[in-house]
Structure 1
Amino acid sequence: AVLTHDDGVRKPDPWGLLEVSSRLGASKPVYVGDTVDDLEMVRRARGRGLGAICALVLSGHGGEGNINFFREIGAEWVARDVNEVLRVIIEERRSTKGAEEREGPKGN
């Protein structure tokens, strides 16, 4: 799903995140951003019931200098770049899938 600024209001309004999540059927999306508005948008989306996580990356304006600032404003996840975010998500999915396979089917 693709949305542009022509499709609705701008960040930090959560409309875009809520709309894309709805179209994709995502109840717990990871939003990757690099600004305070990105974090605020995710917080507002959570206030409307979306279980979103915001990963703020240091590859945007301000770079590595933003690490302490992002932590001070309450970012739950700070990464060097989007590639690091993807690596962590892939590793988490693999470990979760492995645990499910070891446990066997539920409800038996």
Structure 2
Amino acid sequence: MKYLRFLRRRMNTKPSHGPIHFRIPALPHYSWVTWSSFGNFVGKKLINLLLSLQELESKPKERAQLVHEKKKQLTELRLRADKTVDEKFGLQHDIIASVKY
């Protein structure tokens, strides 16, 4: 939507409004021979790109896994602490719980 709004702007005096913005041609004018040779080249490049992308994505995933494990441990400790407090203090804990926000 924003890009189409940008394309509609046609003002020669304001630089951000363009002079005239042309649309992309509807059909690419390439022969099938060009595309067949181009496809082989793209396939090789695409494999290399995917391999490097997987390598780059692996580091944040490992870090996220560590953060998730730590969060799970902290949640488990908090639940265990709540359970021990309930067992130890019982009635007093109910009175304090009503004051908590």
TM-score interval, smaller chain: under 0.3
Greater share of residues in strand: 1
Which one scores higher on RCO, CA 8 angstroms, separation ≥ 6?
A: 1
Question: Could you say which structure has the larger radius of gyration?
Answer: 2
Greater share of residues in helix: 2
